[in-house]
Structure 1
Amino acid sequence: MEKLVYALILASRKLRPYFQAHRVEIRTAYPLRQVLPKPESSGRMLKWTVELGQFDLEYMPRTAIKGQALADFLLEFDSAVNDRALVMLHPPHVEEPLEEFPHPWWILHVDGAVNNGGAGAGLVLVSPKGHHLKSAIHFKFYATNNDAEYEALINGLKIALEMGVRNLIVRSDSELVVNQVNGGFQARGPRTELYLRCTQCLIGMFKEFRLECVPWEKNGNADALAKMGSQQEVVLLGSIPLEIREIPSIP
């Protein structure tokens, strides 16, 4: 609990002018609203409670957020903010000497598909507690099968990073892409080399990372999303977000 309160303290110090001028909505699964005002709070918690008391904070329960919906929120955050701000509170990487917080492993299933309707990607990000965050992407540019597989991997890595994931296992049924990224196969052609470099750059941002090749039947959800995304099957996708990509991830 102290780590979460300390994360809020850091945010209030770095964004102090905004915290002073606006009402800030805090979404968290922890009962901070009940814990912070308690008179028996002592030590650092009491000090932090007093410091946060000068701001207009509203604590709200955090609901489940789809991976792509959160990615869209992060991209649109600057233009969407008016009189309220939404702060997603989670244990941060802090510079002060607190005990190291263990980072759990997430699992990302990715797949790409190309057919007569176009190209697409399917992503399924599984949290350590078993929650599935699903997303589909439609590519409005020409892409080969390998391009679609790399696009699926790259876009999945970006969403995982935006979610704050530190330890990640990626599972793909593309033997070629997995072996190229892991160093077993050589990347041939300038386009493939660009995709490989882009992927390696994103991988370097994780604390721990593994890329595994799995049989198709163990990647069925991502495969189905990729096929629907390639054909822009919005009706079949239902509540699953469908993103439209106009340009590739590489130059």
Structure 2
Amino acid sequence: MNKNLRQTDQPLRQILTKPEVSSRMTKWAVELAEHDIGYRSRTAIKAQALADFLVEGASLAMTGQDSPPSGERSGEPWILFVDGASSKEGSGAGLLLISPTGEELTYALRFDFPASNTEAGLADSPPDGYNRGQSQERSQLVVLQVRGEYEAKEDVMKKYLAKVREVIALFDIFEIERVSISQNKRADALSKLASSSFAHLSKEVLVEVVKQKSIDQVQVLAIDSSATWMTSLMNFLNSGVLPGDKTEAYRLQFRAAKYAYAGGTLYRRSYLSPWLKCMTPEEGDYVLREVHEGLCAAHVGSRVLAKKCLLLGYYWPSVFQDAAALVQKCRACQVHAPLCHQPARKMVPIHSPWPFAQWGIDLLDPFPRAPGRYEYLEVAIDYFTKWMEAEPLATISGRQFRISSGET
């Protein structure tokens, strides 16, 4: 039998030779007893060997990162086949982009504005993001206008040419040439599909609806200058600005003692818990919906929902009102909420100790005049036995009520 040596840094020899140390190792000790196994302590790894391993791994990673893609190494350009189509049903353009590795990307543009064949060919500018590009166009007029050999006379075409030249300037190398119909048949098919049978295009072809001409787009910068309930507090705590009204200034100073401004953020002070981050009502609505209807939605009541938002560290003045409004609009809460059987008003109990001790009297009128000039009816009911008495009256007066009550 050959002797097996095992190098380990764990105390297996002491455990397996003394099974009483651990009852779970007894079975393993019996199974391994038939083999001649020797144990030897593992020697320490030299620091230089570990350093060499890390250096080799880092060099391999650096080599993989520095290697350029196959398309860039070859220096071959991206080829774009373009064709435009216009009909009574609409206008569009077809694009076929071929990468240096041979991958083909098809795309179709549907124009939601009137355009001729020439405009459709120029409206889809060459895509940016590549260093080398080559565009294949079937229209000779478009090719010669882009090259500068022909001059555009219409104002719309001049604008399109200016737009195309702006995109061409982003390329290191760009070429455009005219091709025959047979070479451009796939782009031609895409353009006809986009311009004629737009509703029946295959799902494999991406179609984008262009609602506005690219030359008419105006750059707009959104400016948000809306003031919130935090604006006055932040201005006062940051730069000491107070309103012109003395009453409002006094109220602002009184309110500012409960807040703190740090790092461009307003906080609500608290002496028994961490400071609460102040938010706008719009941001608070998002927090309420996440707590109420989010991943861990509990659909709790309005007061508990507001308390949860405060415990999470958020605050805005209308947190309780917004929570109540959200719960009232939540359909799940309204459908699955328990029904409230309590009366709308507090009920006043009437206790009658014995029969005929307490009566209820009411007057019914008017009735058709009866013999004896009776037109009214006095009704009395006992609260204990529910016994009822009725007495006709000719006139309504306190004396008549006393007389009738004495008779009943």
Q: Give the total of aligned pairs.
A: 160
Structure 1 residue aligned with 2:91: 119
Q: After the TM superposition, which residues 143-154 of structure 1 pair with which residues of structure 2 at under 5 Å, given as runs? A: 143-152=115-124, 154=125
Q: Distance in 1 between matches of 2:137 and 2:103?
A: 19
Give the aligned partner of residue 179 of structure 1: 144
Deviation at 1:183, TM superposition (A): 1.2
User: Quick check: 1:42 aligned with 2:7?
Assistant: no
* 1:22-48 Cα shifts (integer Å, max 9, x gaps): xxxxxxxxxxxxxxxx954134847x9
Question: Does 1:238 find its partner at 2:211?
Answer: no
CA distance in 1, matches of 2:201, 2:208: 14
Identity of aligned residues (%): 34
Distance in 2 between residues matched to 1:243 and 1:148, nearest whole Å: 14
Correspondence for 2:306: none
C-alpha contact (below 8 Å) 1:234/1:242 kept by paired residues: no
The RMSD of aligned alpha carbons is 2.7
Instruction: Give ranges in structure 2 of 5+ residues lacking alignment.
Output: 1-52, 217-408
- In terms of Rg, which structure is larger? 2
1:191 aligned partner, one-letter code: V
Cα distance in structure 2, aligned partners of 1:208 and 1:129: 18
Measured in 2, the distance between the counterparts of 1:106 and 1:198 equals: 20
SS at match of 2:57: coil
CA deviation map 1:182-211 (0-9, x unaligned): 011111121111011100110010110000
CA contact (8 A) 1:138 1:232 kept: no
SS at match of 1:169: strand
Query: Which TM-score applies when normalising by structure 1?
Result: 0.58
Distance in 1 of aligned mates of 2:210 and 2:161: 19
Report 1:150-229 matches (<5 A): 150-152=122-124, 154=125, 157-158=126-127, 161=128, 164-229=129-194
Give the deviation of 1:232 after TM superposition: 4.5
Secondary structure of 2:184's aligned partner:
helix
183-192 vs 169-178, which moves further: 183-192
Shift of residue 91 of structure 1? 5.3
Question: What are the Cα deviations for residues 96-137 of structure 1, in whole angstroms up to 9, with x where unaligned?
Answer: xxxx96643110000110011100000000011111100011
Helix, strand or coil at the partner of 2:188: helix
In structure 1, what is the Cα distance between the partners aligned to 2:199 and 2:101?
28
CA distance in 2, matches of 1:198, 1:232: 29
CA distance in 1, matches of 2:82, 2:76: 20
Specify the code of the residue in structure 2 equivalent to 1:223: D
Q: 1:80-91, aligned counterparts within 5 Å?
A: none
What's the offset of the Cα at 1:234?
4.4
For residues 100-111 of structure 1, the aligned pairs below 5 Å read 103-111=75-83
Any conservation in 2 of the 1:174–1:213 contact (CA below 8 Å)? yes
Aligned residue for 1:120, secondary structure, equals: strand
100, 112, 117: which one aligns with 1:140: 112
Partners of 2:184 and 2:202 in 1: CA distance: 17
Contact residue 228 and residue 237 of structure 1 kept, 8 A? no
Larger relative CO (CA 8 A, sep 6+): 1 or 2? 1
Distance in 2 between the 1:91 and 1:43 partners? Answer: 16
2:310 corresponds to: none
Matched with 1:60 is none
Q: Is the 8 A contact 1:111 1:172 kept in 2?
A: yes
Taking structure 2 as the reference length, the TM-score comes to: 0.36
